[in-house]
Amino acid sequence: MRYTVPEFEVERNLQRCISCGACVRQCSYGVHYFDDDGKTVLADESKCVACHRCATICPTHAIKIKAFEMAYKTHFNWTPQAQQEILKQAETGGVLLSGMSNNKPYPIYWDKILLNASQVTNPSIDPLREPMEIRTFLGRKPKKLTFSADGSLATRLEPQVQLETPIMFSAMSFGSISINAQKSLAMAAKELGTLFNTGEGGLHPALRDFRDYAVVQVASGRFGVHKAYLEGSRFIEIKIGQGAKPGIGGHLPGEKVTVEVSNARMIPEGSDAISPAPHHDIYSIEDLRQLIWSLKEATQYKKPVAVKIAAVHNCSAIVSGVARAGADIIVMDGFRGGTGAAPTRIRDNVGIPIELALAAVDQRLRDESIRNTVSLVAAGSFRNSADVVKAIALGADAVYVASAPLIAMGCHMCQQCHTGKCNWGIATQRPELVKRLNPEIMSQRVVNLIGAWNHEIKEMLGGMGLNSLDSLRGNRLMLRGIGLNDRELEILGIAHAGQ
């Protein structure tokens, strides 16, 4: 007997159900099925994950997914969820797995920070009238420029990455997501003038035309890394850690390693793809330095090299070390960052919020007078353009988003990525599911989303009396805290609202 009860309930409005069977054919979890009469649609609710594919596609909106409500004797410690998780582990003996991102009600500092606007003493700027510049450059910068006697530039700049928006798509490997999902992001990146990130999955041949818009990752499993892969990229990212699961590696189960995945990753078909927790050639900062410079050497110093770390307690010191080790771009991924699969306990309990990590790191690099030599990219859950604006005012050069474009493509945060049964064709390799995601449509939806955010960023900039994002970077006077204590304000480096 299973001790767990279903999480969700399928409510079918029989006055509206036309028995077309779309729900039956669309549910990869096998929730909906026809009764013997071939007309009545029934549901096995224990299988439902609340991905809402059925409810979304139902032409008559006859389906509602509701919480399976059970009355429990009230206990603030032993919540129904806490009990359910114990029951699951008692049944399976396994580590609890989840997809997406930290699901605990920790403070979301973005919602406790307010933006400024100009009134009287300086004018707000109308973005419909004046150019609003959001162009962003990533890469190592010198502290000063020198010119020759003839007025030409004597300083040779290290390679810079030009972006037409401060928003990039963060790493999601082919394997963790489908080729169609990745292609949609690649197409959107090209149209938007930004970059997508291959994750540790190699570059699928179908994306060869998008190499100029690709960040290629070198992670602990080194999957898919070869000379052409590195040389074909816009920049290279060494992945040390991930916000959703700091301190642990990755595991793509053999059943997801299809022929195509095996080719892209350069591993045998059907074999588990295991990315170790540490890079086994990086046991210290000086080892990281060697890898950074090896990658630069391998690409004739034409590609910036980024290092991505998870936001953890002492990230300020770590980032300072990484900057000094030669990284051109440093990516910090906060504890609300997403993942295709992570142990639930790690996902929900390890790491720190990106807001605090970013503020602390930016200040630390300034205290050491090296902030402007490296680029800082913040990741770990940006839900809207206001989050992005606040991150830039705290000190980020750019941000990475992943969950937001996935939601634009249909993701409903059911957190079942690790099962590979994604009904939206995103986190799956099953051909019948992958084909559900048409990059023609989805790239446009992602372009719409980021385009809308760009517009909103420009509106907010204009309101603050700025017409260039350059003037917002690290401009913490534009921020005020609301309902934060002195310690939090001190770490964020902002005053409280009313001050």
Partner 1 sequence: MLQREGQVRIPSGCAIAAVTDRSGARFSGMDIIDCIALMHDRSNGLGGGFAAYGIYPEYRDLFAFHIFYDDNDARIKTEEFLFRHFDIETFEQIPTRKVKSIHQAPLIWRYFGVVPQSKIKKNDFDEEEYTARCVIRINNSIPGAFVFSSGKNMGAFKAVGYPEDVGEYYMLDEYKAHTWTAHGRFPTNTPGWWGGAHPFTLLDWSIVHNGEISSYDANRRYIEQFGYKCNLQTDTEVITYLFDLLVRRQGLTLETAAKILAAPEWDAIDRMPEAEREIYTALRVVYASALINGPFSILVGSKHGLLALNDRLKLRSLITAEKGTKTFFASEESAIRVICPEPEKIMAVEGGTPIFIPFAEVQD
Partner 2 sequence: MKKVIAREEWCLNCRLCEVYCRTAHSVSGDVVRAHLREDPTPVSRITVEGDNLDSVAVNCRHCDEPACVAACITGAMQKDPETGIVTCDESRCIGCMTCLAVCPYGCIKTGKAAVKCDLCQGTGEPACVKNCPNRALVYVEVGGAAK
Q: Six-digit token pair at 328?
A: 């051109």
The residue written with tokens 């642990």 in the block is 248
Q: How many residues bind partner 1 (CB under 8 A)?
A: 41
Q: Which of 57, 87, 97, 489 binds partner 2 (CB under 8 A)?
A: 57
478 makes contact with partner 1 (CB under 8 A)? yes
Residue 38, SS3 per DSSP: coil
118 burial level (CB within 10 Å; 0-12, 13-18, 19+): middle
According to DSSP H, which parts of 195-284 are helical?
A: 227-231, 259-265
Residue 348, SS3 per DSSP: helix
Q: Six-digit token pair at 269?
A: 């078909």
Q: Which of 40, 60, 79, 119 binds partner 2 (CB under 8 A)?
A: 60
Point out which span in 15-23, 266-274, 312-320, 458-466 binds partner 2 (CB under 8 A): 15-23
State the nearest-atom distance from the C-beta of 59 to partner 2, in Å.
5
**Rounded Cα gap, residues 284 and 195, in angstroms:** 29
Point out which span in 4-12, 34-42, 142-150, 239-247 binds partner 1 (CB under 8 A): 142-150
State how far the alpha carbon of 385 is from the alpha carbons of 211, 395, 459, in Å. Answer: 27, 15, 10
**Rounded Cα gap, residues 61 and 20, in angstroms:** 12
22 makes contact with partner 2 (CB under 8 A)? yes
375 makes contact with partner 2 (CB under 8 A)? no
Nearer to partner 1, 79 or 468 (CB): 468
What backbone phi and psi angles, to 5 degrees, belong to 8? Answer: -130, 160
Instruction: State the binding string over 405-444 for partner 2 (x if CB under 8 A, else -).
Output: --------------------------xx--xx-x-xx---
**Rounded Cα gap, residues 292 and 325, in angstroms:** 8
Q: Which of 90, 157, 317, 441 binds partner 1 (CB under 8 A)?
A: 157
Q: Which does 25 bind (CB under 5 to 8 A by kind): partner 2, partner 1, none?
A: partner 2
16 makes contact with partner 2 (CB under 8 A)? yes
Nearer to partner 2, 280 or 435 (CB): 435
According to DSSP H, which parts of 2-126 are helical?
A: 22-26, 53-57, 80-92
State the nearest-atom distance from the C-beta of 207 to partner 1, in Å.
28
> Up-side HSE of residue 195: CA atoms within 13 Å toward CB?
29
State the nearest-atom distance from the C-beta of 370 to partner 1, in Å.
8
Q: Six-digit token pair at 330?
A: 């440093």
Angle among Cα 458, 461, 465 to the nearest 5 degrees reads 135
Give me the count of residues in the chain.
499
Q: Which does 432 bind (CB under 5 to 8 A by kind): partner 1, partner 2, none?
A: partner 2
Nearer to partner 1, 215 or 478 (CB): 478
Nearer to partner 2, 99 or 410 (CB): 410
Beta-strand relationship, 375-379 and 329-333: parallel
26 makes contact with partner 2 (CB under 8 A)? yes
Q: Which does 431 bind (CB under 5 to 8 A by kind): partner 2, partner 1, none?
A: partner 2
- Per CB under 8 A, residues contacting partner 2 are 15-16, 18-22, 25-26, 57, 59-60, 431-432, 435-436, 438, 440-441
- Per CB under 8 A, residues contacting partner 1 are 118, 121-123, 125, 130-131, 133, 135, 137, 141-142, 144-147, 151-153, 155, 157, 160, 366, 369-372, 464-468, 470-478
